[in-house]
Chains A and B, each alone.
Chain A
Amino acid sequence: MPAITIENLTKEFNGLTAVDNISFTIEKGEIFGLLGPNGAGKTTTISMLATILKPTSGKAFVNGFNIINNQDDVRKSIGIVFQDQSLDEELTAYENMDFHGRLYRIPKEIKQKKIHKLLQLVGLEDRKNDLVKTFSGGMRRRLEIARGLLHEPQILFLDEPTLGLDPQTRNHLWKYIQKLNEGKNITIILTTHYMEEADRLCHNMAIIDKGKIIALNKPEKLKEEMGWDIITIESSDNDKLNSSLKSLPWIKNTHKHNNHLTIDLQNSEKHVADIVRLSEKNKIDILSLSIHKPTLEDVFLHFTGKTIREEEASTKDNMRLRRRMWRR
């Protein structure tokens, strides 16, 4: 049984379609990424799966339970770390955890032990009796993740887990998320609009734009799918090298620049040796050579026709609108 099955899920807010008829499955033990610009429908999708929002139409099963008519079992199976903070700032770290433990009816002795273990894990054990309002953004995130794990969910939703965090904390969190996934075999679904985050963490990912899934695969596959690598060469005789390269069948294209040459090709690792050998045979010295693999940024560009940042600027107003509707 997959961890999550989504069938034709749709959510409309006053005529605005935030999630548009999406279907996919997430296997157990995966780290699954939902990548897309702000306002693409990531949070709406997660909110429906977490039973906070009712879908307009379609079905979804979380841990085998229907999100519409078996909400309680869904809620017991999942942990969620929201995009916006959801801690009580007037309570201490320990009290926030304790409250959560009570909500999930964890027996007292187990609860106390687990809270200490989890607070240790996220490095907050020494601050456990401090009010949350004295915590930094990174500490709050870590506390929320610890809290989300307290009831040992089989599926953990992380909505933009590293938004607004400094690089160091982000790195720390990534390692931690991987550890959770490998160590405890927790299925993790995270949304992000950071390419490197999806690239580094996810086993599988879906690119979502304007409420639709436009691509779904492993990050490497997505990059492969979009085509070619680029090799940049600087040599003693760029013209000669260029003309001799033309004879090779696996080269897609070459471009001459002022003092270097770029080559578009597939499977660059395999062919780079051939290129070096060819230039040696023609007595051309290679001064420098670099391979550029396509990034998820290129993938996004490929699938949507725009970079994620352009998309962000144009959807900003749209997003605000959606936010407002969200509150209604």
Chain B
Amino acid sequence: MDIVYAIWLRNIKRYLRSKSRIIGSLGMPLFFLLILGFGLNSVVDIPGMGHNYVGFIIPGIVAMSVLFTSIFSGIQIIWDKQFGFLKETLVAPVSRLEIMIGQTLGGATTAFIQGLIILVLSLFIGANITNLAGFLIAFLFMLLIGLCFTALGIAIASKMDDMHGFQLIMNFVIFPIFGLSGAIFPIDSLPSWLKTVTLLDPLTYGVEGIRYGLLGTSHISPLISGLVLGSITLVMIILGAYLFRKVKV
């Protein structure tokens, strides 16, 4: 546990120190929230939900923020590889699993904080607190998203040698996961083939869970969302740990 803590601590320290990264990665979610939210607010009416569009996408943007930060945190291992720091951890008498778990928890924590910042900011533009229990449910889903996608980031980073493939990841992993998740549109009003696709996206369950917590309504029952996302997270952690075990420096 102390090894996991050491690696977690390093992640948190690095995160808190990189002010530009914190502010930089708030940019895109805020942009989406403001432009999409207010741009479409007057023309979009979500059936079956007693909220305006801004209120509807706040959970989606929170999820987006957690998603981006967590995948980047996982992929950070490539930098550690390139700057040599990974060797320092790999040559120590600790197991790869401990390193991977520490990295996952660290990434999930920073992603959670990042999502929390968006959540707090969105309180100023129309989100209203329904009840404390709802918040806790939202937090739980934010953490799950963080864990799930940091682990995915680690899995990807374990297979990559340098940052050349980054654009590829951005376009073919991160954006599709975000776009297909129902973060910015209700999945119920989709054509059925597209709805099937969104149901294959793990983030959908995260968004739905956070939405239930914050708004009190969702298309998918929070219990199912929690179960599905929880299982996928477990699978991702196992996959990440397996691939990380084979990392060579």
Residues of A participating in the B interface, judged by any CB pair closer than 8 Å: 50-53, 72-73, 75-76, 78, 80, 82, 84-91, 95, 99-100, 102-105, 147, 327-328
| Residue ID in chain A nearest B99 by CB atoms | A103
B85 proximity list for chain A (CB < 8 A) = 86-88
B102 → chain A, closest Cβ, in Å? 10
A90-B14, A90-B18 in contact; A52/B90 too (CB < 8 A)? yes
By size class, the interface of chain B is 20 to 34
Complex CA distance for A89 and B17, rounded to whole angstroms: 12
Complex CA distance for A102 and B8, rounded to whole angstroms: 12
4 A-B pairs with least C-beta separation = A102-B6, A86-B84, A75-B93, A103-B92
Complex CA distance for A140 and B13, rounded to whole angstroms: 20
A45 → chain B, closest Cβ, in Å? 15
Listed by A's residue number, 27 A-B pairs whose Cβ atoms lie within 8 Å are: A50-B91, A52-B87, A52-B90, A52-B249, A73-B93, A76-B93, A78-B91, A80-B91, A85-B83, A85-B84, A86-B83, A86-B88, A88-B10, A88-B83, A89-B83, A91-B10, A99-B6, A100-B88, A100-B92, A102-B3, A102-B5, A102-B9, A103-B92, A104-B92, A104-B93, A105-B2, A147-B88
| Residue ID in chain B nearest A95 by CB atoms | B13
B92 proximity list for chain A (CB < 8 A) = 75, 100, 103-104
11 extra interface residue pairs, beta carbon distance < 8 Å, beyond A86-B88, A88-B10, A103-B93: A53-B248, A75-B91, A75-B93, A78-B91, A82-B84, A82-B87, A85-B84, A86-B87, A89-B83, A102-B3, A103-B89
Instruction: Please pick, from A75, A85, A91, A327, the residue contacting B14 in the complex, using a CB distance under 8 A.
Output: A91
B209 → chain A, closest Cβ, in Å? 33
The majority secondary structure among interface residues of chain B is helix
Complex CA distance for A147 and B92, rounded to whole angstroms: 12
- Asked whether any CB of chain A lies closer than 8 Å to the CB of B44, the reply is no
- Asked whether any CB of chain A lies closer than 8 Å to the CB of B161, the reply is yes
B164 → chain A, closest Cβ, in Å? 12
Complex CA distance for A72 and B94, rounded to whole angstroms: 8
Complex CA distance for A82 and B249, rounded to whole angstroms: 12
Contacting residues of chain B (202-249) with chain A, CB-CB under 8 angstroms: 248-249
B89 proximity list for chain A (CB < 8 A) = 103
A78 proximity list for chain B (CB < 8 A) = 91
| Residue ID in chain A nearest B3 by CB atoms | A103
Residues of B participating in the A interface, judged by any CB pair closer than 8 Å: 2-3, 5-6, 9-10, 13-14, 17-18, 83-94, 161, 248-249
Complex CA distance for A126 and B7, rounded to whole angstroms: 26
Complex CA distance for A223 and B85, rounded to whole angstroms: 39
| Residue ID in chain A nearest B94 by CB atoms | A103
B6 proximity list for chain A (CB < 8 A) = 99, 102-103
Complex CA distance for A103 and B5, rounded to whole angstroms: 10
Q: Of A51, A88, A89, A95, which is in contact with the most chain B CB atoms at under 10 Å from its CB?
A: A88
A108 → chain B, closest Cβ, in Å? 10
A276 → chain B, closest Cβ, in Å? 57
Contact A51 B91 (CB under 8 A): yes
A53 proximity list for chain B (CB < 8 A) = 248
Complex CA distance for A95 and B9, rounded to whole angstroms: 10
B74 → chain A, closest Cβ, in Å? 17
| Residue ID in chain B nearest A83 by CB atoms | B84
B13 proximity list for chain A (CB < 8 A) = 90-91, 95
A100 proximity list for chain B (CB < 8 A) = 88, 92
| Residue ID in chain B nearest A105 by CB atoms | B2
Complex CA distance for A86 and B86, rounded to whole angstroms: 7
A86 proximity list for chain B (CB < 8 A) = 83-88
Complex CA distance for A51 and B89, rounded to whole angstroms: 12
A95-B13, A105-B2 in contact; A52/B83 too (CB < 8 A)? no
Complex CA distance for A203 and B83, rounded to whole angstroms: 33
A105 proximity list for chain B (CB < 8 A) = 2-3
A99-B6, A102-B2, A102-B3 in contact; A84/B84 too (CB < 8 A)? yes
| Residue ID in chain B nearest A53 by CB atoms | B248
B179 → chain A, closest Cβ, in Å? 32
B248 → chain A, closest Cβ, in Å? 7
A102 proximity list for chain B (CB < 8 A) = 2-3, 5-6, 9
B84 proximity list for chain A (CB < 8 A) = 82, 84-87
B185 → chain A, closest Cβ, in Å? 39
A328 proximity list for chain B (CB < 8 A) = 161, 248
Q: Of B6, B90, B92, which is in contact with the most chain A CB atoms at under 10 Å from its CB?
A: B92
| Residue ID in chain A nearest B90 by CB atoms | A52
Complex CA distance for A225 and B249, rounded to whole angstroms: 39
A85 proximity list for chain B (CB < 8 A) = 83-84
A76 → chain B, closest Cβ, in Å? 5
